[in-house]
Amino acid sequence: MSTPAVEIRSFAVAIPAGTLITAPLVTPVYFPARKVQAINWRIPAGPSGLMGWKLTSSGGQAVIPAGGGWIVTDDDAGVWALYGQPDTGYWEVTGYNSDIYPHTVYLDFLLDVISGAQTTVPMASNAALSSQS
């Protein structure tokens, strides 16, 4: 059994209508270097299979779902317990949205502090990102 998280970082990432799968939106979700224990996610009702998203790290491969692909769901939520994932705090939500309405991915990162890790977070410049610490 894992130790409870000592910190939660919450993000609401809006994916605009008409965002092509061939040119997906990449939105940074920055936080200080931390051990990610779990991620709670939620997609409200509405996308109806027209929006897909994934978590990537430092501009690299998809972390979730493993091996790439897209998470396509509607009115759904879940929790991913994670082990051995990147601890840099440089994560992104990559998404497309072929709908005529914008849709939002809600994420809560459950975190533990890493000894000697930086305690400040870089400022995100993307207006679509909403962070609450």
Residues 6+ apart with CB under 8 A from 85: 36, 57, 63
pLDDT for the residue 105: 98
Within a 10 A sphere around the Cβ of 65, how many other Cβ atoms? 12
Cα–Cα nearest to 77, from 99, 44, 103: 44
Q: Is residue 132 part of a domain?
A: no
Q: Which two tokens stand for residue 74?
A: 């509607």
Give the Cα separation of 113 and 110 in Å (integer).
10
pLDDT for the residue 89: 80
Q: Is residue 29 part of a domain?
A: yes
**Count of domains forming the chain:** 1
Give the Cα separation of 49 and 74 in Å (integer).
7
pLDDT in tens, 55-103: 988 776 777 887 778 999 999 999 988 877 777 788 899 999 999 999 9
Per the structure, the complete domain to which residue 70 belongs is given by 7-119
Q: Is residue 50 part of a domain?
A: yes
Q: What is the CATH number of the domain that holds 111?
A: 2.60.120.380
pLDDT in tens, 15-26: 999 999 999 999
CA count, 13 A, side-chain hemisphere, 124:
20
pLDDT in tens, 37-50: 999 999 999 999 99
